[in-house]
Amino acid sequence: MTAPVLDYDEVIERFDPVLGLEVHVELNTNTKMFCGCPTAFGAEPNTQVCPVCLGLPGSLPVLNGKGVESAIRIGLALGCDIAEWCRFARKNYFYPDMPKNFQTSQYDEPIAYNGVLNLELADGSVVEVGIERAHMEEDTGKSLHVGGATGRIHGAAHSLLDYNRAGVPLIEIVTKPITGTGARAPEVARAYVTALRDLLRALDVSDVRMDQGSLRCDANVSLMPRGTTEFGTRTETKNVNSLRSVERAVRYEMTRQAALLTDGGTVLQETRHFDEGTGTTSAGRRKETSEDYRYFPEPDLVPIAPSGEWVDKLRATLPEMPWQRRKRIQEEWQLSDLELRDLVNAGAVELVASTVDAGAAPAEARAWWVNYLAQEANSRGVELGELPITPAQVARVAALVSGGSLTNKLAREVVDGVLAGEGEPDEVVAARGLAVVSDDSALHAAIDEALAAQPDVADKIRGGKVQAAGAIVGAVMKATKGKADAKRVRELILERCT
Ligand SMILES: [Zn+2]
């Protein structure tokens, strides 16, 4: 059953949306937050567990120092204050994927609070998003519900549990309420998660793979009638796992809530699931309040009191921030504001930068990613970075072109081959026989043949009509199946006819 929705323009005429975004990021530490178990993704179920992360009686947690370090660096990068003293708290709830019966988290004493992240929208305008807090916690295990149609617990015959992820360090980053975005709320939500992902990647604290769940977004959405200031009841759409889905989920929730409110109904405070296939959300569980969790300070872990000296040391490790990097790249590559924006909107800045680092000229790297590959990503419905080609491979193709081994046309075929999983660029060139015919004697043979086939054209060239050579170049290119360098062919034709 699909809920009624209100036309989007009408939503905006009648209501102001309020967003609150909670992003969970899994840190890329080698071991879990409170034990020595490895954190690698994709291992056999329940092979990365121990008494601590299984919550067995008598086991005691030991805090992962690297996890705290990453948390502080994230806080600093977001311009947050770092707590001089804070504690972990037990968040009590029973869920089968949480073997301890509680989650070790932080409650009213987060390690970082009160920051800001600036987002640039597609048209270049900037939105400032306040950061409420960033706190440390641990991930839960994973459940797999078998036998139902939807993969959810309802209708399932049985469920399987994998505790490998239980205890993996998580940082939860929570925004302050985001107001005043109007019709652009869905775009702002997406831009926020994008900016945060870029920042976390620059910090090298996580592999930020939304498709593998190492970056997950919960989108809180509510509406208030235009001209009023009191927030409406919000819903929380959980674990949205792609940038595009974040945008779609927010938009859908706005139209669904608006239809309810316009019809005199009320929005229930609840969690919701986003369905990628239909682009709609469905009700999850009624939202608990913090009282339900009976938070209390974690008695098995000592408080954390990062010294000012340590925090300063960590501050000195912060890398160039994505926005600083963009500014520098714009200057170095001499891009106009519009060119830079195209690059940013295509999600190509880091990819192009890496391609340049791998040896390609900036203009060529840009052309590959923003033109050819962006089209390919678009037609596959994936993000640019998800295409099965690396910056190093693009740089290799560009090098083959600039070295004269490939024409632009052949280079596109090589890229197609890499995308099709045929291996490295050089392997594709060899397997598909794509190298430019650079052997002059082979070209001479083709030229002589073309001249013999079109004697009138040959006479014109010999008579000094240089522009007539185009027809012979065309014939040679055709004979070599486009594998000749047209410029070289032209030179050889003119040599031949003088
Ligand atoms: Zn463990």
Per-residue model confidence (pLDDT) at position 122:
83
For ligand 1, the distance from its centroid to the CA atom of residue 70, given in whole angstroms, is 20
For ligand 1, the distance from its centroid to the CA atom of residue 284, given in whole angstroms, is 30
Residue 296 has pLDDT above 90, yes or no: yes
Residue 467 has pLDDT above 80, yes or no: yes
Mean pLDDT (whole number) for 451-456: 88
For residues 37 and 48, is the Cβ–Cβ distance under 8 A?
Answer: yes
Instruction: Express each pLDDT in 51-76 by its tens digit.
Output: 999 999 999 999 999 999 999 999 99
Residue 2 has pLDDT above 80, yes or no: no
Per-residue model confidence (pLDDT) at position 362:
92
For ligand 1, the distance from its centroid to the CA atom of residue 342, given in whole angstroms, is 45
Residue 438 has pLDDT above 80, yes or no: no
Residue 92 has pLDDT above 70, yes or no: yes
Per-residue model confidence (pLDDT) at position 445:
83
For ligand 1, the distance from its centroid to the CA atom of residue 212, given in whole angstroms, is 21
Residue 350 has pLDDT above 90, yes or no: no
Per-residue model confidence (pLDDT) at position 182:
95
Does an H or E element contain 270, and which? strand 270-275
CA 3, CA 77: separation in Å to the nearest integer?
41
Mean pLDDT (whole number) for 88-96: 91
For ligand 1, the distance from its centroid to the CA atom of residue 54, given in whole angstroms, is 7
Structure tokens that stand for 328 in this block:
């520098």
For ligand 1, the distance from its centroid to the CA atom of residue 31, given in whole angstroms, is 8
Per-residue model confidence (pLDDT) at position 308:
96
For ligand 1, the distance from its centroid to the CA atom of residue 164, given in whole angstroms, is 8
For ligand 1, the distance from its centroid to the CA atom of residue 166, given in whole angstroms, is 8
CA 369, CA 348: separation in Å to the nearest integer?
6
Mean pLDDT (whole number) for 87-95: 92
Residue 441 has pLDDT above 80, yes or no: no
Q: Using CA of residue 285, residue 289, residue 292, residue 293, what is the dihedral sign?
A: positive
Per-residue model confidence (pLDDT) at position 148:
78
CB atoms within 10 A of CB 26: 24
Instruction: Express each pLDDT in 140-177 by its tens digit.
Output: 999 888 887 777 777 888 989 999 999 999 999 999 99
What percentage of the chain carries pLDDT values higher than 90? 66
Q: What residues pack around ion ligand 1 (CB closer than 5 A)?
A: 35, 37, 50, 52-53
Instruction: Express each pLDDT in 108-149 by its tens digit.
Output: 999 999 999 999 888 889 999 999 999 999 999 998 888 877
For ligand 1, the distance from its centroid to the CA atom of residue 58, given in whole angstroms, is 14
Mean pLDDT (whole number) for 215-232: 95
Per-residue model confidence (pLDDT) at position 287:
66
Instruction: Express each pLDDT in 389-437 by its tens digit.
Output: 999 999 999 999 888 888 888 899 999 999 999 999 999 988 888 777 7
Per-residue model confidence (pLDDT) at position 288:
67
Query: Cα 26 from chain centroid?
Result: 14
Mean pLDDT (whole number) for 71-100: 94
Q: Which residues are CB-contacts of 389 (< 8 A; sequence separation ≥ 6)?
A: 373, 415, 418, 419
Instruction: Express each pLDDT in 4-59 by its tens digit.
Output: 999 999 999 999 999 999 999 999 999 999 999 999 988 999 999 999 999 999 99
Per-residue model confidence (pLDDT) at position 331:
93
For ligand 1, the distance from its centroid to the CA atom of residue 32, given in whole angstroms, is 7
Range of lowest pLDDT (173-187, 205-219, 281-295): 281-295
Residue 285 has pLDDT above 80, yes or no: no
Angle between helices 440-453 and 486-496 (to 10 degrees): 60
Range of lowest pLDDT (206-210, 364-368, 473-477): 473-477
Residue 290 has pLDDT above 80, yes or no: no
Q: What is the dihedral of CA 354, 357, 361, 362, to 10 degrees?
A: 50
CA 189, CA 19: separation in Å to the nearest integer?
8
Per-residue model confidence (pLDDT) at position 1:
59
DSSP-derived secondary structure for 22-60: EEEEE---SB-SSS--B--TTPPTTSS--TTTTT-TT--
Per-residue model confidence (pLDDT) at position 405:
82
Mean pLDDT (whole number) for 441-459: 86
- Which band of pLDDT confidence, cut at 50, 70 and 90, is reported for residue 195? very high
Q: pTM here?
A: 0.80
Per-residue model confidence (pLDDT) at position 387:
93
